[in-house]
Every structure is written in structure tokens, then in C-alpha cells.
Amino acid sequence: MLISEYIKINTSLLLSDKIDERESQAIVRFLIEDSLQINRIDFSTYQLNKNEIDMLNKGIKRLKNNEPLQYITQKTYFYGLEFEVNSAVLIPRPETEELVHQVLKDFDIKKKQFIHKENQIFLEVGTGSGCISIALAKHLPYCHFVAIDISAKALEVAKKNAKKNDISNIEFIEMDFLNEKLYSNYSQLKNINYLISNPPYIRETEKVDMNKNVLDYEPHLALFVAENNPLIFYKALANFFITKMKTKNGLLYAEINQYLANETKALFESFGITNCIVFDDLQDNPRFIKATQRQMEKRE
Ligand code: GLN
């Protein structure tokens, strides 16, 4: 069978109310390209043999069961870099690229003052696949990164991704950031200048709006928070920012729940973080919060 015929048949199999023809075809094409390592240019002339068809059919079956393509091919792209992913980590989202972009924009402005200053240290809380720290490290080679996660399996993936992208200025630590008592065990946490995180922030009640490919396959540990304490990670981040940062001109960047933007800002303010702004993602949802300590410094 010609690849072009295979695409036609299987594109129709994946159609649903969430996946239109164009997306379905793109998914089948990616699957073929990745599984068989065949260039798209050859799709119209390449004859698939039985083994190849069997192999592709296995992938199609997984896709029909709503498994994300990225878990099947075990790879994705984030901020122009390739990342390995499996079900231990969230598939990096485009919004999170926007967060990285914002940090890099801010640092570009600051470059002149930073360039000769070594040992500027970022702490990333809940690194998952490592995408945020790795993308930042690629562009900020003069900074150092400490990336923590509670999941040993996620850290295995993150470490592989750092290696794959030739990044050596990230130290990965397995720890529970919500357990403040542990902080003193890690001397690395004493020298943090910048804090960044895309923590779990989805409430159980928001599950109704979520797709099966997310709900059935992505790690719930990385996605969900208790209904009665949805800002638990932001409390810990605010607490760390106020009490544990090395400098008084630190920065905090976090991805947030769009439905809790006002609450998140109010929470930060209740911790005495007076200089914080919420900003939108490209879908115009309030998706990020950025805080600086500068204003507090002025008052001192
Ligand atoms: N934005 C992600 C989603 O919609 C969730 C990321 C998170 O919980 N930190 O699936």
C-alpha cells in the first residue's frame, strides 16, 4: 500500500468532535515520519510492506485510544529544542513557551548588567520534563539552575533531556517543595536569585472541560490540586520568595490557573509581595504572574 493511501484511510479513523480532518492527517503523517523515519517528500511514492503497516497500525490503535502522539513517538518540541517525553511528565505546552520567552525578554534587557555576573541562580519548582530550565539554560549559559521535582521518574526524563540538549548547568533534585522542613537539607536552596514554576493548578471541578488525551494519559500529579486548596503551590512559592531568596531584588515567574488569576495575585500580596503583575497568554487568558522584590527594597 502507498503511504498516501494509508494516510487517507487512517485519517478518517481518528476523526472526532475534538479532532478535525486537518489535525488528524497531521497526526498520521507525524506518526509515519517518526516510526519509519521516512521523509515526507517520499510519502507519495513509498510502498509500505506488511511489517511497516503492522507497526503503524499499533500506533494508530493507541491514537484511537486517545493516547497523545508525543507519548507514542516519545518526543516533542519546546522552544526550538527536542525533548523526550513519557507518561511520567506533562507534555510541554505552548503557553509555557510564552513564559520562557518572557523571562528571556526580561533577561535580554538585563544582559548588560548580568553578563559579567556569574552565579545567578534559578530555582525551578516542578520541573517535569525539564523543559523550562533547559530552554532557559540554553539561552542563559551564564546562569545556574536548580530544578526540583517530587517525581524520580520525571527527573530521569529531565536529566536525559538536559544531556540531549548539551546542558550541564542544571542540578536536578528530587524533593517535595511543599515540605518546608526539607529546605534546610539542601544548601543549593540558600543561594537562589530567581524562582520559576509551572506547578499543578487544575481543580477537580475543571476536569469536565478537559480532553481524554490529557485526563487518561498525563500525570495527574503534575496537573491537579485539591479543590479546597488550589493555590497550595503558589503559597509555597510566595513563602520561599519572601523568606528564602538570596537577594532582595529577586524575580518570581509562574504559570497560573486562568480562573484564579485574581486570587493568585491577592495571595502573593498577602505575603507582602507588593510588586506583582498578571499577564495574558496568546489566547488572552490571564496565565502568568511575575513578581519582583524591587519595590520592597526601595521602601527599606
Ligand atoms: N496548562 C496545562 C493544561 O491545561 C496544565 C499545566 C499545569 O497544571 N501546570 O493541561
Cα separation of 164 and 171, whole Å? Answer: 15
Domain 89-298 belongs to what architecture? 3-Layer(aba) Sandwich (3.40)
Per residue in 55-93, pLDDT (tens digit) is: 999 999 999 999 999 999 999 999 999 999 999 999 999
What pTM did the predictor assign? 0.92
| Percent of the chain whose predicted confidence (pLDDT) is above 70 | 94
Residue 93 beta carbon below 6 angstroms from any ligand 1 atom? yes
In the chain, domain spans: 3-65, 89-298
- Which cell numbers hold the place of 20? 478535525
Per residue in 118-140, pLDDT (tens digit) is: 678 999 999 999 999 999 999 99
Atom of ligand 1 nearest to the CA of 199: 9
State the amino acid at position 54 in one-letter form: D
pLDDT score recorded for residue 161 = 98
**Residue 114: band (very low, low, confident or very high) from pLDDT cuts 50, 70, 90:** low
Residue 201 beta carbon below 6 angstroms from any ligand 1 atom? yes
Q: Give me ligand 1 centre to Cα 184, in Å.
A: 30
| Percent of the chain whose predicted confidence (pLDDT) is above 90 | 83
Q: Give me ligand 1 centre to Cα 223, in Å.
A: 6
Query: Contact at 8 Å (CB) between 171 and 196?
Result: no
